[in-house]
Structure 1
Amino acid sequence: MTWGRPGVPGDLPAPEVLWARWALVAVVEATTEAEESARYRTGTWIDEEGLHLDDCGCTWWTFSRMADGRYVLFGEDESSEVKWHRPPVDMLAGAPDWLPHEELRDRLEGNELGCVYWYENGAWARAPYPGDLGDDGLDCGMSRFVVRVEALRLLDERVRRDGGTSAAALLEHAEHRRLTPELLESLVAPADGSAPDLPAMTRALHRAGLAPRTAAAG
């Protein structure tokens, strides 16, 4: 896959695909209830606001499902040149009213935002960029979920070491919304050799909406 630098809306897959891959990593990384409620977190996780990624260094992202099939993706990678560009780039130019404008403006005022993309009416969009902008960080931030081989590599670090078979199986089930706690228990094994935290993974699984309807209802 060839990415634009800066990113363009067409670089992003259908939001359901991006959600499934990102959410699956959040599920297999799920941890204790105490850590779930911590104010500051790192890694990949899901909560009431959506999916999150924070590497405690140069990258943080949030991906939220909104009403009526809409989504918003925002965050920052250190490769983004948007907030340093002069004259300033208005990352919310043309943005719809349903975006979380208060949070986004807080991020902008704190110099913490690298780009914003939104999805509605079957298409991704973002604010227009000046022609001399080199990068907005979308590639470095999202390629781990968008590029299938990278998503599999990321998962293979967290599941059974069997040449990628477990990672591929998990990804297939996640993308078709048919993950179950039983599948997670059979396929996920933390890298440190400890037993997986099945209750935590199950909570994350239901938050993510990756389970079959009957399993999710239960």
Structure 2
Amino acid sequence: MHTPSRPEDLDHPELLWARAVTMAMVDAACNPGTEFALDDDGVWCHSTGACGWWRLTVLDGGRAVFCGQDPDGSRTHVDGEQIDFLAGGPDWLPWGLLRDDAAGNLFGFVYWWEDGAWHRIPYPQELEEDGLEGAAAWVGSHEEFLGLTVSSYDVPYRLERSLTAGVARFAELARERKADADAVTALVAAAHADGGPAPRIDVALDIAARAGILA
């Protein structure tokens, strides 16, 4: 990933949606205090550590928005002022939502997908880092996605290899929107393999249905 990050650092939004939904399902099913949520605005991670966050919104017409912040890595003030991440953005952006984020000084990066590519504002030369890698390295790395998802299971290291393979298989189904109840159950039930607390399968199924990844 570049420093600061560039639009080409992000994978296709369909792939990102599959990854984000998979992470949200596993974490919500296996951790009562999950930091993930799915609502009308997209998939959220409310805390990536040190109060970082991200949100992926997929809109009609194949458009998408990915935004967030890494407080330790988003060094996006120039001459004491936060840069305007929304300057010159297209009309179709969810402006109300994004302006609320901007008013809260919550942005370290804002990317939007249109016409087959990711875009962002031109960064000032003084901007050294936007924090994308710190907050969401998984947007450009399948390995980062797998590692983050498996970490939500909270199982012994010896089980991680088999869990990683299962997560990878499920993410493929999710991208093709061909997952089913059995696949969802198998994905989250793996957390119970070593005698840990039973995962909340109903929560995972609800997320999968609302995210539109079921066949």
Whole-angstrom distance in 2 between the partners of 1:116 and 1:6: 12
Task: Identify which of 98, 101, 116 aligns with 1:104.
Answer: 98
* Structure 2 CA distance for partners of 1:28 and 1:178, relative to 1, 3 Å: same
Task: Identify which of 18, 42, 63 aligns with 1:70.
Answer: 63
Aligned to 1:216: none
1:43 aligns with 2:35: yes
SS at match of 2:28: coil
Whole-angstrom distance in 1 between the partners of 2:100 and 2:186: 43
1:10 aligns with 2:8: yes
**Contact map agreement 2:166 2:187 (CA 8 A) in 1:** yes
Task: Identify which of 133, 136, 144 aligns with 2:138.
Answer: 144
**Which range moved further: 67-76 or 152-161?**
152-161
1:117 aligns with 2:120: no
Deviations 1:45-100 (A, max 9, x none): 21121110122633111111112111111111111111x22264221122011112
Aligned residues: 202
Whole-angstrom distance in 2 between the partners of 1:90 and 1:24: 32
Aligned to 1:204: 207
Deviations 1:149-172 (A, max 9, x none): 111112223458252322222223
TM norm structure 2 = 0.84
Q: Note the 1:156-175 alignment, pairs <5 A.
A: 156-158=150-152, 161=159, 163=161, 164-175=164-175
**Contact map agreement 1:156 1:166 (CA 8 A) in 2:** no
* Structure 2 CA distance for partners of 1:114 and 1:177, relative to 1, 3 Å: same
* Structure 2 CA distance for partners of 1:162 and 1:125, relative to 1, 3 Å: closer
**Which range moved further: 190-199 or 65-74?**
190-199
Q: Which consecutive unaligned segments of at least 5 residues does structure 2 have?
A: none
Aligned to 1:38: none
**Contact map agreement 1:64 1:71 (CA 8 A) in 2:** yes
Whole-angstrom distance in 1 between the partners of 2:100 and 2:185: 40
Q: What is the CA distance between 1:177 and its match in structure 2?
A: 2.1
Aligned to 1:187: 187
Q: What is the CA distance between 1:7 and its match in structure 2?
A: 1.1
1:177 aligns with 2:215: no
Whole-angstrom distance in 2 between the partners of 1:113 and 1:165: 34
SS at match of 2:127: coil
Task: Identify which of 85, 95, 99 aligns with 1:91.
Answer: 85
Superposition CA RMSD, Å: 2.3
